[in-house]
Amino acid sequence: MRRAVRAALGLATIGTMAGMALAAEKPPAAYQNVMKGLGAAQMSLRNNLTTKSYEGVAKDAAAIKASLSAAEQFWTGRKVQDAINFARSGLKGATALETAANAKNDEGIAAAQKAIGGACMGCHTAHRERLPDGTFEIK
């Protein structure tokens, strides 16, 4: 009886560890490029906000929308609903950012930027793991 319980526990542990190993993966190069583009657009956005370049903010919003649309497609292909929802939420925020920039509405820009940041943070918390070498895996 003890031997059977130990064997069952051992198999369960191995199964759990194997599942964990399969769950984490290096993101494909195309997805890494999308995320890097999104980061670059966010940096540009901060600079354009500092200089009050509404035209620049609108361009950044368009770049953010393109990146988040690609992210939505990536997660849709993997059928990960919360990540899909984060991408859609970010897209909604980027659309609001573009509208606010074109209207030169600073309050609208701030609210949209907060919405985008929240979507990014939510997805990264749920689906990104930083490795000791500074790279990331999808979890």
Q: What is the CATH number of the domain that holds 92?
A: 1.20.120.10
60 occurs within a structural domain = yes
- Please tell me the predicted confidence (pLDDT) of residue 23: 61
Instruction: Give the domain range for residue 33.
Output: 26-138
Q: What is the per-residue pLDDT across 45-64, written as a single tens digit (0 to 9) for each?
A: 999 999 999 999 999 999 99
6 occurs within a structural domain = no
Task: Find the mean pLDDT for residues 78-93.
Answer: 98
Q: Total structural domains in the chain?
A: 1
Are 101 and 109 contacting, i.e. CB atoms less than 8 angstroms apart?
yes
Asked if residue 136 has pLDDT above 80, the reply is yes
Per-residue exposure over 6-22, b if at least 16 CB sit within 10 Å of its own CB, e if not: eeeeeeeeeeeeeeeee
Q: What is the per-residue pLDDT across 115-127, written as a single tens digit (0 to 9) for each?
A: 999 999 999 999 9
Q: What is the per-residue pLDDT across 4-54, written as a single tens digit (0 to 9) for each?
A: 445 444 444 444 433 433 468 999 999 999 999 999 999 999 999 999 999
Average pLDDT taken over every residue of the chain = 88
Are 42 and 59 contacting, i.e. CB atoms less than 8 angstroms apart?
no
